[in-house]
Amino acid sequence: MDPELEAFIPLLPRPDYADAVAERRIVAALVASLPAPDISGMEVTDRRVPATPEVPVRIYRPHTAQGAIVWMHGGGCIVGDLDTEHPWAGRLAAGAGTVVVSVGFRLAPEHPFPAALDDCYAVLLWLAENAADLGVDPERIAVGGMSAGGGLAAGLALRARDEQGPPIRFQLLNQPGLDDRQETWSSRNFTGTPRATSESVATAWRSYLGGAPATPNAATARAADLSGLPPAYISTAEFDPVRDEAIDYALRLLRAGVPVELHQWPGTFHGSHAILSAEVSQRQNTELFAALRRALAE
């Protein structure tokens, strides 16, 4: 473990997705203790995207941005909202110089699959259809997310391909959760790592699937055909149960002819990039921002 990160581990509560209400309260308090992002160089607005039901979004618009990313938060599709994602979404917009549309999708277990994906897809359609009014180049729209949000982003890319939806230029998958089967080496060996345990991952998938069999749109690692998907940047953490499924997915994308940039960060754990004082986190975040900025450049 990176020593700068290791010092914080005793301060991090173990996730307990079995009690969704309590876990949401804990995460909200944890995020509230983080430094606020500098959003002085951008416009931040809350909107509601027409859908059934309406989907809340928070739009971060740096003054010179044209490209945009539909961004999904982490939290196992059980925890998280626009407020808990605010520190990261603001930093992403500032660091990448990109419009960030942060999605407040419905959460499990109250709303199992496909509720979250339907919400995110509605936002993608809305963004593409209203790009001119929103000051966004419709040819420069990306999807991305962290953890379960990365899984949603991958599912969006797959669904848009299969349903001839809006063209997606890029997918930014940060430590994505992609496979409900938990059969990889990392899922079997990193059972008690910080902020992601085998138990929390299993609970998240059970809640998200709601007892139904997993489909490729729910667990993108199950998709047989990955051809024709957007180029991807995939970031993984060393001590993370979902590490290997993301690496496997990157390799499968490459074999399907999809351009991929893959970076495995040594000494890190799931979500440790939020510890901003650590040098490795600073490198992780700077590279992630740069990858998105390059992908949406003219």
Residues assigned a catalytic role: 147, 240, 270
Which residue has tokens 């959460």?
107
Q: Quick one: which of 211, 88, 83, 209 has its CA closest to 151?
A: 209
The values of phi and psi at residue 10, to 5°, are: -65, -20
Select from 240, 263, 266, 271 the least CA-distant residue to 87. 271
Q: 10 Å Cβ neighbour count for 41?
A: 12
For residue 33, report the phi and psi dihedrals to the nearest 5 degrees: -85, -10
Q: Give the helix ranges, DSSP H, for 184-242.
A: 185-189, 198-209
CB 75 within 8 A of CB 148: yes
Share of the chain residues as helix, strand and coil, in percent rounded to the nearest 5: 40, 20, 40
